[in-house]
Structure 1
Amino acid sequence: MSRLPENVVRAAIDWQMRLRGNPELQAPFNEWLRRDPRHQLAWQRLQQMAGMFQASQLPRAEQSIPLLQRASADLSRRRMLKMLGLVAGGTALATVSAPPTWHPGYITGLGERRQIDLGNGTQVTLNGDSSVDVQGGELLLRSGEVLVDGARWQARCRFAECSGREARVALRERDGYSEIRVDRGEVLVTSPVGQRRLQAGEGLGASASALTELGKSRLDPFAWSRGLLVVNDMPLGDFLAEAGRYRHGWLGCDERIADLRLSGVFRLDEPASLLDNISHLLPVKVVERTRWWVRVVPA
């Protein structure tokens, strides 16, 4: 069991706070993650803790630091609860995100995809940089994105519970809300603020305060499970932000070309050719200082 330096844990907690509502910090955060394996471990442990409690219920930094330093990356939830009770001096920390029977399940790295059989005829495909817990035939999305396909299944995301019947659905955790999009069948979405039934082709954003219908996306929300990035009339800046989810390093563009529109089918497993294709479709060129720093600029 490794013990993390206090400065590393404090940095992870600082990033947790700074990233809320500041998506422009994602690139420097990714760079910080890759700078040191201990950064990734500290972040993983922090997310394990955050997934168990609402953000407002998390211990303060002075309480979290010794816990994160000691905690093993695969601690069971029950043991984590016990440890939190000790460092909090016996103060009850209520409102957990799942029953005590949930346990750590599956985690994928950047650019990795993984298929999981829940054993009840339900197949789950986990996107890169994602994590889920499983219990029997139920699934809990901790972070990232999953595709669930089966006759009957139950799934939870940050802000809602979903029940599917002969349904195929993509669940994605975004900044401040959970995105739910149905490809086939019917899905019942339940949250503290309401309940909706979704049919094929429909999408919903679930947040702490509302359920919001989502229009047709410029991004095919299911294509990543086939190793593809399929976009239609998407701004280049948004496209690069999406493509950056599947590669290491920083990927961005000059603000003068961020609004150029892009349509096409791109292979996620071929990041080099993906960038080459952009320069053939738009009046831009790719500047690659290192494989970790890539910028798209006007041609």
Structure 2
Amino acid sequence: MNGVAAIHPAVQEAIEWEVRLRGGDVSQPERDQFDAWRRADPAHEDAWARLQERLARLQALQRAPSVAVRRALNEPSHARRRVLKAGAGFATLVMAGIGTRELVRVYSLDADYHNGNTAPEKIALSDGRPMTLGASARVYAAEDNSQGHIYLAAGQIATGGTRADSQALVVKTRDGIVRTDSARLSVDALRLHTVVAVQGGDATLLSHAGEPVHASDGSVWSLSPRRIARMPETSSDIFAWTHGTLVVLDRAVPDVVETLGRYYNGYIRFPQAALSRRVSGVFPLDDPTAALRQLAEGLGLSLKLYGNVLAVASKV
């Protein structure tokens, strides 16, 4: 939950109470007001209980031994799946706190390539092609072992140029397909669409419904199931993420919140009205708290933080 979808009023109020109560210096009248809020509506008590459960799950993940996490991540994909099905190994360490499905989502234990860190990670595909994985990136190899065919399930990747003696690179997301014979690609699988930057060559974009679109060197595109549209950024702007910088021009706020959420690794809440706006800016990915504060201030909001677990933007 990163604030992109609409949040029920009771859930929003529960988050705001969490911030107030954990912020320190809470008066007795405020505590009485909190108790009255919980008793006023069963939905309030339910929202509060669910929030505490989610925060407890985050804490359980953060306490999990890093050695165990790394060992699980280093297993081949088929072995990770077997471990998950058996409920053994690393999964048993925190099963009581979060469960197998949460482990798969958070640590990408079923992906063939993944990055569980916030710093970009350089890897090589099975055919030797270089690739950079962004934070929370999850990449699957083609089930039929097709050379150069991958599926980006989540996060952002940057590919190296394709060699003359190799097959074309094909990157699929839930929104469509990107194909190139020579260009470097930055492909970002966001909730609302996939952002594709093309550099050093040309590419072809194909949505689920529509004709192929030619993407020239230096261009940036929004790829969604029924629409392909040119974006105002340059490919250099988009590729800046590989050096720790997010550059956006006239971008929808949910895109920025989602991207920063990969680096903040906690709950982010922006008002619904702010999510309908668009922003431009340069944000430091190596300091997500400063980036979130910069985003909030640019929207005329203030940002309250609860450690590395909760960030709530609200009207000043």
* More strand as a share of residues: 1
Q: Output the amino acid matched with 2:200.
A: R
What displacement does 1:216 show? 0.8
Q: Output the amino acid matched with 1:186.
A: D
Gaps of 5+ in 1: 1-14, 16-21, 53-65, 75-102
Q: Secondary structure at the match of 1:222?
A: helix
Between the two structures, name the one with larger relative contact order (CA 8 Å, sep ≥ 6). Answer: 2
What displacement does 1:262 show? 3.5
- C-alpha separation between the residues in 2 aligned to 1:162 and 1:30? 36
Over aligned residues, Cα RMSD in angstroms? 4.5
Which position in structure 2 is the counterpart of 1:84?
Answer: none
Deviation per residue, 1:240-277 (Å, 9 max, x gap): 33322221111122345445654321110112322343
- C-alpha separation between the residues in 2 aligned to 1:30 and 1:228? 30
Which position in structure 1 is the counterpart of 2:229?
Answer: 214
Deviation per residue, 1:110-137 (Å, 9 max, x gap): 5242112348774311111112245685
Do structure 1's residue 181 and structure 2's residue 192 form an aligned pair?
A: no
- Identity score, percent: 18
Paired positions, count: 227
Residues 196 and 260 from structure 1, CA distance in 2 versus in 1: closer, same or farther, beyond 3 angstroms? Answer: closer
Of 229, 251, 255, which residue of structure 1 is paired with 2:246?
A: 229
Deviation per residue, 1:217-250 (Å, 9 max, x gap): 5795433222111122445555333322221111
TM-score between the two structures when normalised by the length of structure 1? 0.57
Contact 1:108/1:127, CA 8 A, preserved across alignment: yes
Q: Secondary structure at the match of 2:201?
A: strand
Of 223, 233, 253, which residue of structure 2 is paired with 1:205?
A: 223
- Structure 1 consecutive aligned stretches of length 4 or more whose deviation exceeds 6 Å: 27-30, 71-74
Which position in structure 2 is the counterpart of 1:252?
Answer: 269
Which position in structure 1 is the counterpart of 2:112?
Answer: 105
Do structure 1's residue 267 and structure 2's residue 291 form an aligned pair?
A: no
Q: Output the amino acid matched with 1:205.
A: L
Contact 1:121/1:151, CA 8 A, preserved across alignment: no
- C-alpha separation between the residues in 2 aligned to 1:298 and 1:147? 36
- C-alpha separation between the residues in 2 aligned to 1:117 and 1:202? 24
Which position in structure 1 is the counterpart of 2:181?
Answer: 165
Q: Secondary structure at the match of 2:199?
A: strand
Q: Secondary structure at the match of 1:109?
A: coil
Contact 1:118/1:137, CA 8 A, preserved across alignment: no
Contact 1:110/1:247, CA 8 A, preserved across alignment: no
